[in-house]
Amino acid sequence: MTSNATTGSNGAVASTNGHSAAHVPTSLGNYTFPTGRLARLQDANKIPLVLIACGSFSPITYLHLRMFEMALDYIKDSADEFEVLGGYLSPVSDAYQKKGLEKATHRLEMVRRAVSSSTWIDLDPYEALIPSYTPTAEILDHCHRELNKDGGAEAPDGTKKEIHVALLAGADLLSTMTTPGVSDFILLILTIRKTDLQ
């Protein structure tokens, strides 16, 4: 992918072209996978990685966004074989039928606004636009396919590398992860103590 780029606070180079969360599609008929905030791979020796957080986001909170920064810090400090190219929030569809779940259109708008100033975290509305409940593993498959349909991330030497996806989740979500296929992906489970919030 060739595009203009800016450097975000995370050190990643983010594209300024392509779809981003500035416009949220209203149906799958006008959906395209957002790539506008994906960074270019800087180190050909590293594994390109994209973080995906699935959830109701009803409403989205500061901690949902903070999880991405915490995961990025962890990867930089303890999993140096990876290079994070971006992150996506994937709100569930209305078919999830969680008590108190706001309509998908409202949740998509809340997430769009929450990430509007981010250089590397974007909204993927795909899951919310599907009229039926979609297992998390299928959403991760969707993201993996979309990220790699043109061969993956282009390294500085021009070669392409497969982009891996990691499910980013809080420990509370772990207990609901009984869906087959999720374990085929990298899982980043974050625990937050009360002292982390002070």
Q: How many domains does the chain have?
A: 1
Cα Rg for the chain, rounded, in angstroms? 16
Q: What residues make up the domain containing 60?
A: 44-197
CATH number at residue 174: 3.40.50.620
Is 136 within a domain? Answer: yes
* Within-domain flag for 23: no
Q: Is residue 17 part of a domain?
A: no
Q: Which of 61, 63, 38 is nearest to 51 (CA)?
A: 38
pLDDT, tens digit (0-9, with 9 covering 90-100), for 110-159: 999 999 999 999 999 999 999 999 999 999 999 999 999 999 999 999 99
What is the tens place of the pLDDT at every residue in 9-29?
333 333 333 444 457 888 999
Task: Give the global pTM.
Answer: 0.81
Position 32 in a domain: no
Query: Per the domain annotation, does 3 fall within a domain?
Result: no
Q: Per the domain annotation, does 154 fall within a domain?
A: yes
Token couple for 170: 């809080």
